[in-house]
Amino acid sequence: MSWNERRYSPWLLKHEELLRKRQGSALTMLVVAALGVAAVEALLPWERITPLVPVWAHMLAVAVLLPLLYLAWQNDLKRKEQAFATALSDKGRRLLFLDPYLEPEEFALSESMSGVHVLPLQRQIDAALNLGAGASLHRRMEQYYRILPSAVHEGDRLGLLSVIHPMTFVTWLAVLALAWLCLPGLGLAISPGAGHGLTLLPLLAMVYLYGTRLNTRFGYELALYDWLRNG
């Protein structure tokens, strides 16, 4: 079996196809959510809710904000793909990911890098559970993802615990506060005057933030598969 065939086998093609489907589903979900917020924004009776702001101003804000957020989402994905591609250029770390197909001398090198116990123990567990390379792919990708020295995913790599990361926490807190202040009947409704909520548009910022969080993992996996395909 050639090096290229060993490096990019049928089970890896299957996993890449599943990744593309997940990414397409996520994009569809985000677009539908954003269009839903925009539709509600355009249909609400703003002439009664915000008499000082004309309806056309709300519709114009939606028309400008939707394409801007979509382009920002795409740029975020490209930036993270480039950052992960740079991090994946370390051949020593790539050996750890390719462990199931390493030659003996390469396996010895990967053992010396990750410790004398980690890889042998992982191999014993896989053998005991009768797991092949395909079955352990996601577990190895998780381990590989966590050791990458990239600041791009610092706020996301801890899973649910990423809320404690300062940038993630501050950003989401600011957007949630802005959404509460601007939603009709909530934040600004308790203030004196005629204000009963300004807009629903801050909800689009929440959709965008969730999309960029998905981009972090998609960017990593896409960069990884791209390297495995092209070398």
Domain boundaries, the chain: 3-88+158-230, 93-147
Per the structure block, which two tokens stand in for 13?
């093609």
* pLDDT of the residue at 4: 46
pLDDT band at 2 (very low <50, low <70, confident <90, very high): very low
Question: Is 177 in contact with 117 (CB distance < 8 Å)?
Answer: no
Q: How many CA atoms lie within 13 A of 93 on its CB side?
A: 17
pTM: 0.74
- The tens digit of pLDDT for each residue in 201-211 reads 999 999 999 99
Q: How confident is the model at residue 144 (pLDDT cuts 50, 70, 90)?
A: confident
Whether residue 168 is predicted with pLDDT greater than 60 in this model: the reply is: yes
Cβ–Cβ contacts within 10 Å for residue 136, how many?
18
User: Residues 4-59: pLDDT tens digits?
Assistant: 444 566 777 888 889 999 999 999 999 999 999 999 988 888 888 877 778 888 88
| pLDDT for the residue 97 | 66
The yes-or-no verdict on residue 81 having pLDDT over 80 is: yes
Q: What is the mean pLDDT of the chain?
A: 77
CA-based nearest residue to 98, from 22, 9, 158: 9
Nearby residues of 46 by Cβ (< 8 Å), 6 or more positions away: 53, 54, 55, 58
